[in-house]
Amino acid sequence: MRRTPKSDTALREAVLSELDWDPEVDARHIGVSANEGAITLDGYVASYSQKVAALHAAERVYGVKAIADGIEVEDLPPGKMTDSEIAEEIAQRLTWNESIPESVEAEVVKGHVTLRGEVEWGYQRAAAERVVRDLWAVRRVKNEIAVVPRVEPNPAEIERRVGDAIERLADLDERSIRVTARDGTVHLEGHVHSLAERRLAERAAESAPGVRAVQNDLVVES
């Protein structure tokens, strides 16, 4: 059953409600505007993890087809945490997480973190980013970690595993998603009902063995 598309006003109110409902987001200083399914978020939050949570909250709202991110992370009060201290904390967290190999390194400049190195699995790349973004002093994360499988992946096997992973997810209709693989890159085509579903399918593909990269061309259809 197709839902009736929301007006810009109704879509804006729905996003604001989702932001207010999410306990990980302090939405007091976040502004929302809507234009034919495209949402713009602006304002500021206290941490990078709150910024990510706000974007994910907007993605969950039915009818949102695109998001323009204008949210800024507040500057840290003077003397609170230096780049060196942030780097030390990140190094400890990466070491504590057994799923992240020692090859992963972080560079910190004015609270902006760049991750580099090589991992065997896509989930390791994602895990490293989660570890970093949850540190309150981080203002932005750029993930340049490369996924390099030990064994040259078989395209047919990758397609099967990604398809199986998508089929297991209750929120996704695998019949509307087409999966192809070539040289370790997975191509997703078809349609989903929200940006959250689009991201969910991409994460499922990234976690499959042998996947180096994901080209996500899924279209959000209301």
pLDDT tens readout for residues 82-96: 889 999 999 999 999
pLDDT exceeds 80 at position 222? no
CA distance 169 to 164: 9
Q: Is the dihedral of CA 136, 137, 143, 144 positive or negative?
A: negative
172 and 192 Cβ atoms separated by less than 8 Å: yes
163 vs 208, residue with greater confidence:
163
47 vs 19, residue with greater confidence:
19
CA distance 39 to 165: 30
Split at pLDDT 50, 70, 90, the class of 77 is: low
Domain 83-147 has CATH 2.60.120: no
Q: What is the pLDDT of residue 128?
A: 93
Kindly list the distances between the CA atom of residue 118 and the CA atoms of 87, 124, 135, 149, 185, in Å, as whole numbers in the listed order. Answer: 19, 9, 22, 9, 16
User: What does R_g of the chain's alpha carbons equal in angstroms?
Assistant: 19
Token digits for 138?
A: 């981080």
Q: What is the pLDDT of residue 213?
A: 86
Q: Tell me the domain boundaries of the chain.
A: 8-73, 83-147, 155-220
> For residue 172, which amino acid is it?
L
Split at pLDDT 50, 70, 90, the class of 195 is: very high
Give CATH for domain 8-73: 3.30.1340.30
**Range with the poorest average pLDDT among 3-7, 60-64, 96-100:** 3-7
- Over range 30-42, report the average pLDDT: 94
Report which of 94, 88, 140, 76 is spatially closest to residue 114, judged by C-alpha positions: 140
pLDDT exceeds 70 at position 78? no
Q: What is the pLDDT of residues 127-179, one digit of tens each?
A: 999 989 888 888 899 999 998 888 777 889 999 999 998 988 878 888 899 99
Token digits for 195?
A: 């940006």
pTM for this model (two decimals): 0.77
Do 8-73 and 155-220 have matching folds? yes
Q: Is 2 exposed, middle or buried (0-12, 13-18, 19+ CB in 10 A)?
A: exposed
Split at pLDDT 50, 70, 90, the class of 74 is: confident
Mean pLDDT over the full length of the chain:
89
Give CATH for domain 155-220: 3.30.1340.30
